[in-house]
Amino acid sequence: MPVDVLEGDSHMIGYVTLGTCDLERAAQFYDAVAAELGTGRMFVTDRFIAWGTPGGAPGIGLTLPFDGQPASVGNGVMVALAARDADQVNRLHALALAHGGTCEGAPGPRGEGEFYAGYFRDPDGNKLNAFVMAG
């Protein structure tokens, strides 16, 4: 059944939430990544922090799990962060590693070169990448 497309700037995803076992440690990691992307915290509680721009592109949230169990990483789950250019991909990858992240694939072209990305994990093991599509 066809769906009518709404006019205007709409996003299917409002934000993505990842789990953490140490909100303070993880916040330092995401504060650095968000600052490089030109945004900051938009919502904070004692169990949850969200980064992004209200009314802007989708954001990212970090939470202590509601059920009180340790946070775990989803196999095959990854959050992709849109970068302005390859230089910003490189900076984001370096920032991630400098703030407790680990490398999951050095920045560089992928495929036929139309995609440039660097892959990393945050201090809790959640997988992210920074990417840009060649224009």
DSSP output for 17-71 = EEE-S-HHHHHHHHHHHHHHTT-EEEEE-SSEEEEE-TTSS-EEEEE--TTSSPP
**pLDDT digit string, tens, across residues 13-26:** 788 999 999 999 99
By three-state DSSP, how is residue 16 classified?
Answer: strand
Q: pLDDT at residue 1 above 80?
A: no
What's the pLDDT tens digit per position in 60-85?
A: 999 999 899 999 988 788 999 999 99
CA-derived radius of gyration, the chain: 16
Q: Which sequence spans correspond to the domains of the chain?
A: 15-66+78-133
What architecture does CATH give domain 15-66+78-133?
Roll (3.10)
What pLDDT score was predicted for residue 124?
A: 95
